[in-house]
Amino acid sequence: MKEESNTNNESLPEILPIIPLRNSVLFPHQIIPLAVGREKSLKLLSDIKDKSKYIGIIAQKQGLIDDPGPEDLYAWGTVAVVLKVIDLPDDSKSVIVQGLHRFRVLDFAQTEPYIKVVIEQIADIISEGLETEAMILNLRNLVQSISEYLPNITGEHLMMLGNIQDPGRLVDTAVSLLNLETQEKEEILEQVDIQKRLERATFILNQYLQKLEIGSKIQSEVQGEISKSQREYFLREQLKAIKKELGDDQEGVEISELRERLEKAELPEVAHKVAEKEIDRLSRMPSSSAEYTVSRTYLDWLLDLPWNQKTEDNLDLKSAEEILEGDHYGLNKVKKRILEY
């Protein structure tokens, strides 16, 4: 292993003004636009206009905090150079910055009117060998697989990753392309050992790919169910239109008979609602389906029950015994039990 030397000929300041970054992490070599609207950050940009263009970018632990203090920031960040500042009509600014080097926060030099920190630049610990090369190849393949689910990762991005030879920069660039959690990106930023950075990035990207695969599978299943329902609805509407065109859009004879029987049966209110609902359901079914037969049999049974028919009780045991003896031969124990109860 060996440490990567600082290739920047210009010495960087040991104390940097800090712009807190919401919901993202800036990596070395990455160029991004920042929307700056907070009062402290605007004051910072105003102060560096005619001075050093170097600033520090540190991610916030919680993106919802509008005025983060030292305890709300991660302990690692990225030295960045301000490439361009654009004034916007609402008095905010758009700033284009390029990441240069990782740094670790040693101390907070000030918190007002904006945060300044004492930094220690950290160089990458380079790893070489077959294992590192294999991990680099695996990382490129992972990004290739992820790109199949994410249209924002284009062929140009994949080509750019293929041309990056430095393994540390490769990991940083690959992770910066993906919409990962801020904490996961911060883990990569804080790892200076290239081999360990590759290992961690491989684990995170594998998890990310699995989530995309599961999400795609669920989406396909849901889309399949929606397509099936839409197709059935379309076919039913077509069938209605055909029946209307043929003058056969009235309810079938069977359905009409069932409705007449329902009205005559004088069912209780609950049973009447169930039967009416089942008849409506039956009217929408094709008579050739197996479910049609089941539903029709259920309705016949429901309507044939003697809901409001009553008979007078006959409690004459002698008469009951004569009927049992006349209708059934033997079975003396059974007859005795019936007469007892």
Question: Residue 188 sits in a domain of what CATH number?
Answer: 1.20.58.1480
Residues 129 and 244 grouped into a single domain? yes
Residue 129 lies inside a defined structural domain of this protein = yes
Q: With H, G, I as helix, E, B as strand and everything else as coil, classify residue 214.
A: helix
pTM beyond 0.85: no
d(Cα 335, Cα 321) in Å, to the nearest integer? Answer: 8
Q: Does residue 23 sit in the same domain as residue 67?
A: yes
Predicted confidence at residue 245, as pLDDT, reads: 66
Same domain flag for 142 and 234: yes
pLDDT at 46: 87
Residues 110 and 128 in one domain: no
Are 119 and 56 in contact, with CB atoms under 8 Å apart? yes
Domain presence at residue 297: yes
Q: In angstroms, how far apart are the furthest CA atoms of the chain?
A: 122
Total tally of structural domains belonging to the chain: 3
Sign of CA dihedral 283, 285, 288, 293: negative
Q: Are residues 237 and 132 in the same domain?
A: yes
98 neighbors 80 (Cβ within 8 angstroms): yes
Q: How far does Cα 43 stand from its chain's mean position?
A: 39
Shared domain for 118 and 214, answered yes or no, is no
Instruction: State which of 230, 248, 266 marks the end of a domain.
Output: 248
Query: In order along the chain (341 residues), what is the average pLDDT of each group of 10 residues?
Result: 49 89 93 92 84 88 91 94 91 92 94 93 87 92 92 90 91 92 94 93 93 86 74 74 61 77 84 87 76 86 80 68 67 68 59
Same structural domain for residues 128 and 118?
A: no
Q: What is the pLDDT of residue 17?
A: 94
Provide the residue range defining the domain that includes 262: 253-304
pLDDT of residue 6: 46
Query: Taking the CB of residue 122, how many other CB atoms lie within 10 A of it?
Result: 15
Residue type, 131: E
For strands 125-126 and 31-36, give the pairing. Answer: unpaired
Do 133 and 210 fall within a single domain? Answer: yes
326 in a structural domain: no
DSSP of 132-151:
HHHHHHHHHHHHHHHHTT-T
Compute the 3-state secondary structure of the chain and give helix, strand, coil in percent, each to the nearest 5.
50, 20, 30
